[in-house]
Structures are given as C-alpha cells and as structure tokens.
C-alpha cells in the first residue's frame, strides 16, 4: 500500500513538473514574441518620425510679407550687385555694337556729329536714325572756327558758323587724331575748350558729348612716333579732364573698337586709322547704347 502511494506521489510530481516546464516554455515563447513586436513597433515609429521630418523640410514655408528696410546693408549689397551686373551687360552691348534696350526711338534726329575724316567715314555707314554730320577730312579744333568745310543750303560754312544756323538737342564731338602732331597738347586742349564754349553759346539747350579719340592699329602705333596709341591714351586723359571742367559728358567710345591691348584690331581698318563698316557700326552701337543707358537712368 505504501509502495502504491509512493508511486502515485512520484507520478503527480512528474506531471506537475511537466506542466511547469510547458507553461514556462509557453511564457518564454510569448515573451520572445512580445519583445519582437515591441522592437518592430519602435522601428515603425522611428521610420514614421523620419518621414515626417523629411516631409516637413520639403514643405514650402510662407514668405514673409515684410519688406526690407530701405538703406539696409543687405538691400544695398543686392542693389550694388545687380547694378554691377547691369553695367557689365551694357558694356558688353557697347563692345558688340548693339543697341541698348530702351534707347529712345528717333533719339539722334536732333543730334549733330562734329569731327574729322573718321566722323566723315561714320556718316557713310550711319545707323543713327537721321543724325546730322558736320565733318570733313583734316578738320581740327582750331580750323572748326576757320575752315569753310560744311555745306549748309549749298553754301560752305565753318563748323561754328553752321551751328549758328540750326538748333540741335545733342552735339557729339570727336577731335584729336590730326592734332597728335601738334607741338603742345596743352594748345590742343585749350582750343578744344574754346570750341566747346562756342558750341554752348550757339546751342544753349543742347547736351554736349565729347568722344575719346579712337585708337590706331598695333602696326600703325608701333611704326609711327606721332600717331600711336600711347599718345592717344595721354590725349584722351586730358580730354576727359577738360570735359569735366567744362561740364560736358565724356564718352569712352574707344572701348567699343579696341582689342584687349587697346589697339584697333587689324581687321577693323585698311590703313590702321579709318574704320570699316563693321567697326563703324560698333562705334554707332556704343552711342546708341549710351543713349539707352541715360534714358534708363532717367525713367
């Protein structure tokens, strides 16, 4: 009887042990599953957070409606950069001989161009829409007072006399290439100033523009002690200073027809001095572009 009871207790113990082991195994498996689920949920949450962050960065933010304060440093810098870019663009137009956007139609119809054979040559390829030319071969700042070379109504007059017969809105002057041989540049500048005074007297309402002397070719410059680009550059500096003193505008038209070394390109002229059709158009392009720039500044 006692043996039977002992066996029964052993069997009961074994069953309980088995049940405990099974339950422990079940709980272990459930625990592993729960942990995996938690990790998966956390991973999904992290991915969701990252996606949300990316989507936020991609959303266009409202632009502030507050206007920048005028005169601020940032505003001034932006305007300065924009102005510089505009200036560069206009200078490229000058060099290419292109018309500047906004140049007034018919601007040159009340303009007169005064000068020597170079200006006379410009008239042959004129694209300035009705400009008048008071120009002649060999004309200089002093002979503009004395040489009857301008045809007005079938009669030959001096430049100064011709200017007394008609009113203009703009006067463009270019002298200096013939005067390079003068013994004194001071005499040239003095006579140039006298001519400007005479023009102001006969054309009191006109805008007066003094143009720089155009360069000569490298070949011409290197072989001539008088007609060379070093001397032209010196004269142009003095012309610019004189124009400032006289209160008239100086136009650096030489920049429109010069190569990077300041020479007239070899293909611009047959004699190294007088411009061909293509380069006369570049010269005209500079005048048109500068007129457009002034119009742009005043509108």
Domain boundaries, the chain: 1-37, 100-298
For domain 100-298, the CATH architecture is: 3-Layer(aba) Sandwich (3.40)
Average pLDDT over residues 221-233: 97
Average pLDDT over residues 69-85: 42
- Measure the CA–CA gap between 271 and 121, rounded to whole angstroms: 13
For 5-19, 106-120, 165-179, 197-211, which range has the lowest pLDDT when averaged over its residues? 5-19
Average pLDDT over residues 7-28: 70
- Measure the CA–CA gap between 244 and 71, rounded to whole angstroms: 30
Q: What does the mean pLDDT of the chain come to? A: 80
Of the candidates 189, 174, 190, 92, which has an alpha carbon nearest to the alpha carbon of residue 134? 174
- The tally of CA atoms less than 13 A away on the side-chain side of residue 151 is 3
Question: Is 290:251 a contact under the CB 8 Å cutoff?
Answer: yes
Question: Is 103:199 a contact under the CB 8 Å cutoff?
Answer: no
Average pLDDT over residues 64-79: 39
pTM for this model (two decimals): 0.68
For 51-60, 162-171, 270-279, which range has the lowest pLDDT when averaged over its residues? 51-60
pLDDT interval class at 9 (50, 70, 90) = confident
pLDDT at residue 243 is higher than 60: yes
Question: Is 161:212 a contact under the CB 8 Å cutoff?
Answer: no
Question: Is 210:243 a contact under the CB 8 Å cutoff?
Answer: yes
């Amino acid at each position: 009887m006692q043996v039977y009871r002992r066996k029964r207790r052993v069997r009961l113990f074994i069953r309980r042990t088995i049940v405990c082991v099974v339950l422990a195994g079940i709980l272990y498996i459930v625990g592993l599953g729960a942990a995996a689920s938690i990790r998966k949920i956390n991973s999904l949450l992290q991915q969701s957070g990252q996606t949300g962050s990316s989507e936020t960065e991609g959303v266009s933010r409202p632009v502030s409606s507050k206007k920048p304060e005028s005169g601020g440093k940032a505003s001034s810098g932006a305007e300065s950069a924009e102005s510089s870019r505009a200036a560069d663009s206009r200078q490229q137009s000058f060099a290419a001989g292109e018309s500047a956007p906004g140049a007034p139609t018919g601007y040159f119809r009340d303009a007169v161009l005064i000068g020597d054979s170079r200006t006379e040559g410009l008239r042959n390829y004129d694209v300035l829409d009705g400009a008048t030319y008071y120009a002649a071969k060999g004309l200089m700042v002093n002979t503009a007072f004395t040489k009857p070379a301008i045809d007005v109504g079938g009669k030959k007059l001096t430049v100064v006399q011709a200017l007394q017969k008609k009113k203009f809105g703009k006067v463009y002057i270019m002298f200096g290439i013939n005067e390079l041989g003068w013994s004194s540049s001071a005499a040239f500048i003095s006579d140039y100033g006298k001519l400007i005074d005479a023009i102001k007297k006969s054309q009191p309402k006109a805008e007066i523009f003094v143009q720089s002397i155009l360069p000569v070719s490298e070949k011409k410059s290197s072989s001539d002690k008088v007609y060379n680009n070093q001397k032209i550059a010196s004269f142009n500096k003095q012309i610019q200073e004189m124009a400032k003193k006289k209160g008239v505008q100086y136009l650096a038209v030489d920049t429109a027809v010069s190569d990077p070394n300041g020479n007239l390109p070899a293909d611009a002229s047959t004699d190294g001095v007088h411009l061909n059709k293509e380069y006369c158009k570049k010269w005209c392009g500079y005048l048109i572009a500068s007129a457009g720039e002034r119009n742009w500044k005043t509108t």
